[in-house]
Amino acid sequence: MTPTIALLLLLSACADPFGDAQAADTIEAWDKFLTEGATGSEKMRAESRLEQLLVLRAEETKAVVDYDALLKRFPTSRRKKDMEAGRGNAAFAIAEESGTTEAWRTFITENPAADGKLRKRAKAMVDVAAYSAVLIIGEPTVAEVNLANNPSGPKDGWGVTAPITNNGTVALEYASMELVFRDAAGKKLWAVNYPIAAPTGPGGMPIEEELTKPLAPGETRTWSYSTGEVPNGWLDGRKVSLQLVSARPVAP
């Protein structure tokens, strides 16, 4: 036996792919070990650890791509329901950020196992997205106000107003806006809904008479909301955004 062959045999005998993967303990290391022909109990242990790491990564990043990586590699995972729920939440956030009809339809198609309330909300948002395309929302104005509407009273709250125009061809019997309070970096801190047109206010409470009338095609109406409580961190930038979150046309 030549020295070279003897050395190769010695190295082969000393090789420990499972031990190497265990020492690295990364998704990439375990994946490499399994794709190189692992068998027996080592294969079972490697698959179990790889599944754990994929779950941990998905829970940490909350990214659709990482949930998909787990569900594709381990379609019968004991954590399947949790991972499908997490994927649904992540995908809903993406659709919400986009706000387009296509994005909501994609969510509905690609997330059959998502939470039922999310799917119901997404289906409603398909129509909302269509109305959003014709509802022109002006730049919101933020100002200190007197909550009792007393011009000479103290400024004890914050008010947000914005002009909203129905640029479509259908009158809206109901249309609710979501006001989002954001920090200086634009991160969402808190949100509240209030209508621009509705038979009654939130929870059936009375509402301004002007808002009880449908928002007619071509009509511009001022949306307003005031509050004495704002989320921590908002005063640093006083940023807000406004979007349509629910709409219903006048019945023909």
Is the pLDDT at 6 greater than 50? The verdict is no
Q: Is residue 191 part of a domain?
A: yes
CATH number at residue 169: 2.60.40
136 CB neighbour count, 10 Å cutoff = 13
The pLDDT of residue 252 is 80
Q: Is residue 180 part of a domain?
A: yes
The pLDDT of residue 14 is 56
Question: Integer distance in angstroms from the first to the last C-alpha of the chain?
Answer: 94
Using alpha carbons, list the distances in angstroms from residue 93 to 60, 62, 87, 134, 179. 16, 11, 10, 23, 17
Please tell me the total count of domains within the chain.
Answer: 1
What residues pair up with 242 in beta bridges, in sequence order?
179
Cβ(194)–Cβ(225) below 8 Å:
yes
Q: Is residue 73 part of a domain?
A: no
Give the residue-averaged pLDDT of 45-73. 97
Question: Over the range 102-123, which residues count as b (16 or more CB within 10 Å of their CB) and which as e?
Answer: ebbbbbbeebeebeeebbebbe
Reported as a pLDDT band with limits 50, 70 and 90, residue 63 is very high
Query: Which of residues 179 and 13 earns the better pLDDT score?
Result: 179
Cβ(144)–Cβ(158) below 8 Å:
yes
pTM value > 0.85: no
Percent of the chain surpassing pLDDT 70 = 94
Q: Is residue 106 part of a domain?
A: no
Q: Which amino acid is at 176?
A: S
Q: Is residue 58 part of a domain?
A: no
Give the residue-averaged pLDDT of 42-52. 96
Q: Mean pLDDT for the chain?
A: 92
Is the pLDDT at 133 greater than 80? The verdict is yes
Is the pLDDT at 15 greater than 80? The verdict is no
Reported as a pLDDT band with limits 50, 70 and 90, residue 8 is very low
Q: Which amino acid is at 139?
A: E
What SS3 state is found at 176? Answer: strand
- Could you list the residue range(s) of the whole structural domain that residue 205 is in? 135-249
Tokens standing for residue 167: 């640029």
Q: Is residue 210 part of a domain?
A: yes
Is the pLDDT at 1 greater than 60? The verdict is no
